[in-house]
Amino acid sequence: MSLNARQEKFVQNLVVNGLVASAAYKTAGYAGRTDGAARAGASELLTNPNVRARLAQLQQQAAMRAAVLETIAAELDAAYELAFANKQAAACVA
């Protein structure tokens, strides 16, 4: 799976920066003079098997990070509830 620099930036813009495909296309350095041309170019890039594979890889990594953050948030909520129940105000904000 070998992407050129613009393809990698396009995929990064989609996943990491959360841009829509046409904006990711333009930001990656492709010449989409009109919105329609940018949408068409982005659509064509998304049919490239290497681009799709890299997109799936980054989405999987993002999902794993989100799961870890969700676990940490749940643990912090539980610690807060315990501190609040034991009337330890300082522990609630630490």
List the chain domain ranges.
5-93
Residue 38: predicted pLDDT: 93
Q: Which residues of the chain have pLDDT under 50?
A: none
Output the CA angle 53-55-56, nearest 5 degrees. Answer: 65
The pLDDT value recorded for residue 87 is 84
Pinpoint the alpha helices (H) of the chain: 5-15, 21-27, 35-45, 49-85, 89-93
Q: Left if phi > 0, otherwise alpha if psi is -120 to 50, otherwise beta: which for 82?
A: alpha
Global pTM exceeds 0.85: no
Closest CA to 15 of 44, 48, 57: 57
Q: Which residues, other chains included, contact 43 with Cβ-Cβ below 8 Å and sequence gap of 6+?
A: 21
